[in-house]
Structure 1
Amino acid sequence: MDLQKTAHVVLLSSPGIGHLIPIIELGKRFHIHHNFKVTILVITSQTSQAESQILKSATNPSLYTIIPIPSSNISATAVSTRIRLTMRHSIPSIKSALINLPLRPSAFIVDIFGTESLILAKELNIPKFVYVASHAWYLSLFAYSPVLDKQIEGQYVDQKEPLKIPGCKSVRPEDLVDSMMDRNNLQYKEYLITANNLCKSDAVLVNTWNELQHRELKALNGELSCSLKIPVFAVGPIVRQTKSKTDQDTESMMKWLDKQPKESVVYVSFGSGGTLSYDQMKELAFGLELSEQRFIWVLRAPRGDDADGAFFTTGCSDRFDEIQKQLPDGFLERIKNLGMLVQEWAPQVNVLKHGSIGCFISHCGWGSVLESLTNGVPIIAWPLYAEQRMNATMLVEELGVAVKTTLSPTKNVVGREEIASLVKKVILVERNGKSNHMRERVREIKVSAEKALCEGGSSYNTLSKVAKIINKQDFISLSLNVDMRDEIKD
């Protein structure tokens, strides 16, 4: 086979901002650091205004080509099931897009919901990868789920002991991903199909770095290799680095931040799909007010009873004045010199990079977590759906960069007093002259992340190995062998 002078990597993104952004950023790194031609196939939701805005703003022909593929109208209760079914129905369109590309693909990289499309790369005889935009602990649970399915009887949530994963921290039943909460529903069945499909790729890329999760990465390429069967490459943290374009509202927000003291502002946002009930919104409003700390709150109306209700409908469709009427009486007047409310969306990278931000109340989606850590901002963990409970537990118990609520926000209304207490704990420096350990720890992780991505760093070198494999069409080095795994573990 004649090799192309320039490798051409094709990436596939499932619907949703949280899936699209990591794929775009991975594509950028392939182009900027390895001079690859990059094409990004995006299965669009067709209902998310924010997704459309991201696609429009992300257009950059000098770095990559984006090809939107409209999705079928799939109706399913659970968001993850809807995404998986959407991707399955899109396979013929994905195949057509691949065949009609002007330049033959050198590799095909899919996100975690696109694994059923790997068969297309097999037909084209090109290397195929799964990009897991979350962390290595989540990947270990995901990869080991088919084994757990055979080992454990009954519901996982009824287990008295944490679920054991070889070489990794065990997972408490209450921290499991949403798809594992009920083994009798379609969501779990679809989750297992995806987990079993992982090993149909040649390798997995994961959005973390060796210094952050050495134990889990060692297990994935060691003790867990018998179930995963393919190597795992840590290539993160892959996050948005460039600031968003500013409009008049954004400029107003940034000017307000410019006037605030260093590390004094709480940024409150629950991602592109997260929503709170009106009761919880009121308690959060009271809690922010009681804390007496400055804040920016990205406010969104509830979408039904689901915490991820805005996933497919994100956009400024609700009248902001109507949403604000649901807040406590007199709240807007009392906080006009203390905080700022923003409708639906804020330029998160711009905000988290600003020196006045001292804390992030976050749903703990991994993309938001990485944006917070790489900017040295500690977190108040407020997990809502997907693997966010695992993320919150890791941030608090493993990394020491966050605090979390006593009760799960998914099932309970968190009270104003606890909210105020958590905000003060993170924002205010500890008394008696002691430094804030959480803030010191997050700064250490920020430096660690920067080193991993710099030339010669662990993730830079790992992505270079992947690029070399793609350039040489080197299937042999991707095969499961001791030498390759030892190289990865080192």
Structure 2
Amino acid sequence: MPITKPHVVILASPGLGLLIPILELGRRLAQLNLQVTVFAAATDSSDRISQQIDSQDTDLVEVVVLPPVEISGLVPPNAILPAKILAIMHESLPLLRSAFSAMTTCPKALIVDVFGIDALAIANEFEMLKYVFVASNARLFSISVYAAEVDREVLEEHVNQQQPLKIPGCSPLRFEDTLEPLKDPNGPAFHGFVGLAMAAATSDGVLINTWEDLEPTTLRALRDSKLLGGTFKAPIYPIGPVSRPTGSSISENRILKWLDDQPTESVIYVSFGSGGTLSAKQTIELAWGLELSQQRFIWVIRPPSESDASGLFFSSGKKSSSFQDYLPEGFLTRTQKVGLVVPMWAPQSEILEHSSVGGFLSHCGWNSVVESITNEVAIIGWPLYAEQKMNATMLTEEMGVAVKSKELACQSIVGREEIERMVRKVLVDKESHGLKKKVKELKFSGEKALSNGGSSYDSLSKVAGRVSGRNE
């Protein structure tokens, strides 16, 4: 059947953290009268991608999972996670080019995430509009823009002397929150990071999963010709909050049934994203901390990893039958009336939406942050990798919707007493009232941004208008 609407293709990098917001972005564009196809790059362990797509409403969006590619000879086994994802995306480019060549009518626009910027060259080949989608926040993107233009001496001072990185118009980036690519200005990870900003500057616009009221200062700096906007000329489109909507297909899930029996805002939800892991010793301390808090909990647990906090990012997500082996003896028996331990995966958006959930112990990946805010749930920040330390600082010090432990600063073990303290602070102590008040305000501002005539609604409408040939 010939395509009659303007056609937009979105290229998604591996990992549910990018696929989930991209699917939602695709649905919103489809609701603005565009034909949308999502091409999802895959690894050898791609069954989680298929499961996620199956759970989504694909009536509006066509989803194509690209064949897995092999990167074992391209990056060393100990390469950091971004390097592995970039290698997968590079090897997937011929597949995308072939898909475009086979289409009867060429798409009007290509949208890529931050790992797919090399695909913008393909958009040029086919004379398409090209956009970059930042599934994280404006703060992360502003650092990329600044790093692309700043003197190397400034970066070296930040790394070697551990001085804050002063970004024009934005809050300084403290060394303890710095990003891995910045630690080696001569390394491939750094070149990939600044390459994002340089490629995005040549695009027709940057879509960011944030909204005007959430990051007003950073967005202003990106647009101000006297600040970051002096060198970065592409339009900035805040279109958030972009998060996965809850679905009715899992309404009978046993976790949700358990939540139905718990008091309002009495449960702490514990999860470290789609691939985050803890060490064996930290897993034990977390278990003891939850038990000592005497609060209700749902804990999504994974096998410990001693060397890689993102060790399960590319895993299949299959449940482990032996999780009891890395919990304190008798823990499950002692907590069976107040806690629920779930191997590997849980329906996060549905859990956070439930009225019984009052807090979220999170790795502070941006998807989880957005889902927590939009469901009015305060956060315990437990960052593991990528930009999560920076996110945790934003949430605690700038937005006031989270608490975090100082013990995480040097990757030390967070003790059970500290975990107990944080859980109680979010759920039952006096401080919980201020956290809940602030997160409620941010939830309301996000809803307002997405409403018809709101700032994020108007931003995405402008993109759709340009793709459709309308002057907006």
Which of 232-241 and 178-187 deviates more?
178-187
Deviations 1:13-44 (A, max 9, x none): 01110011111110000112x11110111111
Q: Is 1:443 equivalent to 2:440 in the alignment?
A: yes
| SS, match of residue 171 in structure 2 | coil
Alpha-carbon contact 1:362-1:379 (below 8 Å) kept: yes
Identity %: 45
User: Which residue does 2:192 correspond to in 1?
Assistant: 190
Give the aligned partner of residue 245 of structure 2.
Answer: 241
Query: What residue identity is the alignment partner of 2:338?
Result: L
**Matches of 1:174 and 1:140, distance apart in 2:** 18
Change (3 A) 1:435 1:66: closer
Mapped to 2, the partners of 1:48 and 1:406 lie a distance apart of 37
1:91 pairs with one of 87, 90, 93: 93
- Whole-Å separation in 2 of the counterparts to 1:109 and 1:415: 44
Residue 11 of structure 1, CA deviation: 0.5
Alpha-carbon deviation of 1:7? Answer: 1.4
Task: Say whether 1:464 aligns with 2:442.
Answer: no
Structure 1's 244 and 71: CA in aligned 2 closer, same or farther, altered over 3 A? Answer: farther
Residues 344 and 410 (structure 1 numbering): CA distance in 2 closer, same or farther, change over 3 Å?
farther
2:231 match: secondary structure: helix
CA distance in 1, matches of 2:151, 2:115: 20
- Mapped to 1, the partners of 2:232 and 2:153 lie a distance apart of 16
Give the aligned partner of residue 423 of structure 2.
423
Map Cα deviations across residues 282-312 of structure 1 (whole Å, 9 max, x no partner): 0000000000000000000124511111101
Q: Secondary structure at the match of 2:150?
A: helix
Figure out how many residues of one structure are paired with residues of the other and give that number: 463
Q: Distance in 2 between matches of 1:435 and 1:11?
A: 40
1:118 Cα deviation from its structure 2 partner: 0.3
Q: CA deviation at 1:46?
A: 2.4
| Match runs of 1:204-215 below 5 Å | 204-215=206-217
Shift of 1:159: 3.1
Please tell me whether residue 66 in structure 1 is matched to residue 63 in structure 2: yes
Asked if 1 retains the 8 angstrom alpha-carbon contact of 2:283 and 2:304, the reply is: no
Q: Alignment partner of 1:243: what SS?
A: coil
Query: Do the aligned residues in 2 keep the contact of 1:145 with 1:192 (CA within 8 Å)?
Result: yes
Distance 2:143 2:319 in 1: 37
2:182 counterpart (177, 180, 184) = 180
Shift of 1:314: 4.1
Counterpart for residue 131 of structure 2: 129
Distance (whole Å) between structure 2 residues aligned to residue 153 and residue 396 of structure 1: 25
Q: Counterparts of 1:390 and 1:228 in 2: how far apart (Å)? A: 22
Are residue 16 (structure 1) and residue 15 (structure 2) matched? yes
Show structure 2 runs of 5+ residues with no match: none
**1:65 alignment partner AA:** E
Contact 1:31 1:38 in 2 (8 A): yes
Residues 44, 69 of structure 2: 8 Å contact kept: no
CA-CA distance at 1:422 after TM superposition = 0.5
1:50 and 2:58 are equivalent in the alignment: no
Amino acid at match of 1:240: R
Spell out the pairing of 1:296-315 with structure 2 (5 A cutoff): 296-303=298-305, 305-315=307-317
Q: Deviations over 1:125-169 (max 9, x none)?
A: 221000001111111011111123534253643334210111111
Correspondence 1:295-374 to 2 at 5 A: 295-303=297-305, 305-316=307-318, 318=320, 320=321, 322-374=322-374
In structure 2, how many angstroms separate the alpha carbons of the residues matched to 1:366 and 1:348? Answer: 14
- Tell me the TM-score normalised to structure 2 length: 0.94
Three-state SS of the structure 2 residue aligned to 1:426 is helix
TM-score by length of 1: 0.90
Q: Using the alignment, how far apart are the partners of 1:123 and 1:455 within structure 2?
A: 35
- What is the letter of the counterpart of residue 46 of structure 1? D
Question: Could you give the per-residue CA deviations for residues 159-194 of structure 1, whole angstroms, max 9, x where no partner exists?
Answer: 342101111111011111222233354323332333
Whole-Å Cα distance in 2 between the matches of residues 396 and 241 of structure 1? 26
| Equivalent position of 1:411 in the other structure | 411
What is the alpha-carbon distance in structure 1 between the residues aligned to residue 457 and residue 352 of structure 2?
24
For the aligned residues, what is the CA RMSD?
Answer: 1.9
d(CA) in 2 for partners of 1:30, 1:121: 18
Cα shift at 1:245: 2.7
What SS is found at the alignment partner of 2:311? coil
Preserved CA contact (<8 Å) 1:209 1:236: yes
What 5-or-longer segments of structure 1 have no aligned partner? 478-490
SS of alignment partner, residue 133 of structure 2: strand
Where do 1:248-263 residues align within 5 Å?
251-263=253-265
Q: 1:435 to 1:79 in 2, by over 3 A?
A: closer
Partner of 1:202: 204
Inter-partner Cα distance in structure 1 for 2:411 and 2:184: 15
Partner-residue secondary structure (3-state), 1:74 = coil
Aligned-partner residue type, residue 53 of structure 2: L
Post-superposition Cα deviations, 1:87-140, rounded to whole Å, max 9, x if no partner, equal 112111111112223432111100010111101111222210000011111110
Find the aligned partners of 2:218 and 2:190 in 1 and give their Cα distance: 24
8 Å CA contact retained: 1:244, 1:349: no
Distance 1:153 1:190 in 2: 16
Worse-superposed segment, 200-209 or 290-299: 200-209
Contact 1:403 1:422 in 2 (8 A): yes
Matches of 1:71 and 1:409, distance apart in 2: 37
Q: Relative to structure 1, is the Cα distance of residues 149 and 273 closer, same or farther in structure 2, using a 3 angstrom cutoff?
A: farther
Q: Is the contact made by 2:267 and 2:296 (CA closer than 8 Å) also made in structure 1? A: yes
Residue among 255, 266, 274 paired with 2:276: 274
1: CA distance, partners of 2:85 / 2:66: 14
Q: Structure 2: which amino acid aligns with 1:142?
A: S
Partner SS, residue 44 of structure 2: coil
Q: Secondary structure at the match of 1:183?
A: coil
CA distance in structure 1 between the aligned counterparts of 2:144 and 2:67, rounded to whole angstroms: 28
**Distance apart, 1:213 and its partner CA:** 1.1
How far 1:423 sits from its partner (Å)? 0.5
Any conservation in 2 of the 1:385–1:410 contact (CA below 8 Å)?
A: no
Does residue 386 (structure 1) correspond to residue 390 (structure 2)? The answer is no
- The letter for the 2-side match of 1:40 is V
Q: Distance in 1 between matches of 2:345 and 2:338?
A: 20
Report the CA distance shift for 1:460/1:473 in structure 2 as closer, same or farther (over 3 A): closer
Single out whichever of 391-400 and 180-189 deviates more from structure 2: 180-189
Aligned amino acid, residue 422 of structure 2: L
Shifted more, 134-143 versus 417-426: the winner is 134-143
